[in-house]
Homo-oligomer: A and B are copies of this chain.
Amino acid sequence: MSDLKLPTRSEDFSEWYNQLVVRAELADYAPVRGCMIVRPYGWAIWENIQQALDKRFKATGHVNAAFPLLIPKSFIEKEKSHVEGFSPELAVVTVGGGKELEEPLIVRPTSETIIGHAYAKWIQSYRDLPILINQWSSVVRWELRTKLFLRTLEFFWQEGHTAHATAEEAEIETRKMLDVYTDFAVNEAAIPVIPGRKSAAERFAGAQETYSIEAMMGDGKALQSGTSHNLGQNFAKAFDIRYLDKDGALQYCWTTSWGMSTRFIGAIIMVHGDDQGLIMPPRLAPLHAVIVPIFKSDEEKARVMEAGVKLRDELIAENIRTKIDEREGMTPGFKFNDWELRGVPLRIELGPKDIAKGTVVLARRDRPGKEGKCFAPQAGLAQIISTTLSEIQKSLYERALAFREKNTHAPRTYQQFKEAVETGFALSFWCGEAKCEEQIKEETKATVRNIPLEQSGGRGQCIHCGKPATEQAIFGRAY
């Protein structure tokens, strides 16, 4: 944290992001190129994300487990598209315990292969199905261009891996987990997302169908924020995951996988942040409120601190995550800026006058300046804060939705399309052909984000080639 101002978002969105992440102490650069340290404040956000997701996974019948970090190299090579997709990105362990290994080991880039191997061993009969397992872990992919949270060599995530008796069940699972991600994004992170199907070119390496949720960042670009894959029988065949059905016949399983990562912290920053810094949606905020004590003399300080500590304890007892900023040698103004940078939803200012009147000043992070400030009585403050936090949560969602709607266009011409994706999304009919997709990307830098599950219906013409098209896709430039 330093006194310097962040660049504004309109000046340089990318640099605003980079500086914010480091200065708000969310993450830091590691000594190994492209790796990150998630600092305690950033990790506290991830812990809240984990809890919110894990609760949903367990409510939908999933259990957690842990599979090994190290995967035999030969495993990666068993599924053809998988190896093509992941080979260029692998970190390889060639030496162990001082000796060259006979078979090199891969640091997992994702765990379909090693989990597929285990499932083949564990599954014998239809009675063993479905298997619904999730894992919280980190994975390593040798990325060339990295950015904290958004793309790093190592990142933290959860990966769900399930096996089913039928194609239908696997598809239901894939879509159910997409719904879980949507529900999480909307209701916990206050981020509106578009659930949809990926184009063939953007599918997970080895998947039969990939679904994603896509969100619009504050600069109009898209961020893929969670994915759910129907793997068909691809991995079941590669790893021989089979079961005896009720008639005693041997069948291949149908498998799925789905993941959400620390990348999502990047989405929170870029969707809600403003020129002063981060704005945390209350439900995922490590801190709901910070009390900044204001005093001049030692006598005032003693009185203010006593009242502040009492207030903090009362709020914590009501499940409001509260801290009192006791740091010495810093002005209240400096502390205000610091907590604004870190995006704490509510600031509570407490000085001698407030104590005399039995009030506090409450300042909303999402409404800068006087508009967001009000006096509130100390008695019953927890209730007022709870209500205000709900309002902030709702208001952040509405603001993000309005921004996305304002910046999502339905261009009539390819020229309009090109202009639309300069600053936001284009919702356009698309013929579904890879060649069109590729040319659009070359000409506009925009890609098919996904084909939304919710379609307005009807038919139209591909925005690029003019051929008849039955589906609309979301196009945008992406992180």
Binding site for B on A (CB under 8 A): 28, 30-32, 35-40, 42-44, 46-47, 63-72, 75, 87-98, 104-105, 107, 114, 117-118, 121-122, 127, 133, 137-138, 140, 142, 144, 153-154, 156, 327-329
Alpha-carbon distance A8/B393, docked complex (angstroms)? 58
Q: Could you jot down 20 A-B contacts, CB within 8 Å?
A: A30-B114, A31-B72, A31-B75, A31-B117, A36-B68, A37-B66, A38-B65, A40-B64, A43-B64, A43-B65, A69-B138, A70-B154, A90-B95, A90-B96, A91-B95, A93-B94, A94-B94, A94-B95, A95-B104, A96-B142
Q: Which residues of B contact A63 (CB under 8 A)?
A: 40, 43-44
How many copies altogether? 2
In the assembled complex, the CB of A60 is this many whole angstroms from the nearest CB of chain B, namely: 15
State the CA gap A201–B453 with chains docked (Å). Answer: 64
Q: Chain B residues near A117 (CB, 8 Å)?
A: 31
Among B93, B118, B122, which residue has its beta carbon within 8 angstroms of that of A91?
B93
Cβ contact within 8 Å between B144 and A68: no
* Those 4 A-B pairs whose CB atoms lie nearest each other, nearest first: A97-B142, A40-B63, A92-B95, A35-B68
Find chain B residues with CB under 8 A from A70 CB.
32, 35, 91, 107, 140, 153-154
Beta-carbon contact of A96 and B92 below 8 Å = yes
Q: What's the nearest-Cβ distance from chain B to residue A260, in Å? A: 16
For A87, the chain B residues whose CB sits under 8 A away are 98
Q: A118 — which chain B residues lie within 8 A by C-beta?
A: 28, 30, 37
Looking at the assembled complex, report how far the CB atom of A247 sits from the nearest CB atom of chain B, in whole angstroms: 15
Query: B66 touching A156 by the CB < 8 A rule?
Result: yes
In the bound complex, residues from chain B placing their C-beta under 8 Å from that of A75 are: 31
A43 proximity list for chain B (CB < 8 A): 63-66
Chain B residue nearest to A144 (CB atoms) is: B97
Find the B residue at minimum CB distance from A54: B47
14 further A-B contacts with Cβ under 8 Å, apart from A70-B107, A90-B96, are A28-B122, A30-B68, A30-B114, A32-B68, A35-B69, A43-B63, A43-B64, A68-B154, A69-B69, A70-B154, A91-B96, A92-B96, A96-B142, A127-B327
Are B97 and A67 touching (Cβ within 8 A)? no
From A327, which residue of chain B is reached at the shortest CB distance? B127
Q: Which residue of B lies closest to A137 (CB)?
A: B138
Residue from A42, A91, A122, A329 whose CB has the most chain B CB atoms within 10 Å: A91
List of B residues within 8 angstroms of A104 by Cβ: 95
How far is the CB of A93 from the nearest CB of chain B, in Å?
5
Assembly CA distance A32 to B31 (angstroms): 29
* Shortest CB distance A121–B (Å): 7
User: How far in angstroms is the closest Cβ of chain B from A99?
Assistant: 9
Which residue of B40, B93, B105, B114 is within 8 Å of A133 (Cβ)? B40
Q: How far is the CB of A352 from chain B (nearest CB, A)?
A: 25
Report how far A96 CA is from B35 CA in the complex, Å. Answer: 13
Q: Which of chain B's residues have a CB closer than 8 A to the CB of A96?
A: 90-92, 142, 153
Chain B nearest CB: distance from A381 CB in Å? 24
Q: List chain B residues, Cβ under 8 A from A144.
A: 97
Rounded to whole angstroms, the CA-CA distance of A154 and B105 in the bound complex is 13
